Amino acid sequence: MAARRTALREAGRRRRQRRRRGLAILGVAALVGLAVWIAWPAVNHAVHQIELPLHHADIIRQQARAKHLDPALIAAVIYAESKFRQQTSSAGAQGLMQLLPGTAEAIARRSGATRFNVADLGTPQVNISYGSYYLRLLIDHYSGDVTLAIAAYNAGEANVDRWVAAARREGQPPSEASIPFSETRAYVHKVLSVQRDYRASYPRELGYR
């Protein structure tokens, strides 16, 4: 009888230990879950900044207002050109919006800038200001057609003017599909797609609300 009572007590003790271990595991799991829930917005934001970065939002908003542009369009062009990294291309295009020095100098003269220095293209304020000015010029040149303006930002006005003239000779409206350069078609598609992504992902940062 004593042996049986001892065995029962031992079995009860083991059950209590298992329950305590189970509760401890549940407690740890709950704490981990709570920590993930608390940290998730920051983690999600960090991942999002890698996949779809946005920097200099204040400058983008300012230039969008000044040039009457969609801020998401400016952000999308920066993404397509440099992914918000300061760099110089093999063709000599510089800065966030990858402006050629000759183009930037012409913009500086046309916009009334007091001086032009190529080194200034490495400054986000100057680069985004000139790039936004150029975008506005292109949109106006193509009577508000953003698709053609984006194509010209990539391939140059002379090429796009030829494509537009060829499309009209054939009685077709110029469109993304009618762009003969595959690189420029892909560029236009990327900018328009990423523009939508920036609107959806950064409404507060870009001043939509």
Which residues are part of the catalytic machinery?
Answer: 81
| Structure tokens that stand for 65 in this block | 């207002």
| Residue type, position 143, single letter | S
| Structure tokens that stand for 122 in this block | 């490495």
Residue with token string 């542009």 = 69
Say if CB 203 and CB 209 are below 8 A apart. Answer: yes
Cα dihedral 28/31/36/41 (nearest 10): 180
Residue with token string 């999002």 = 48
Backbone torsions φ then ψ of 88, nearest 5 degrees: -125, 130
Backbone torsions φ then ψ of 99, nearest 5 degrees: -95, 135
Say if CB 75 and CB 124 are below 8 A apart. Answer: no
Say if CB 83 and CB 194 are below 8 A apart. Answer: no
- Interatomic CA distance for residues 96 and 196, integer angstroms: 20
| Residue type, position 170, single letter | E
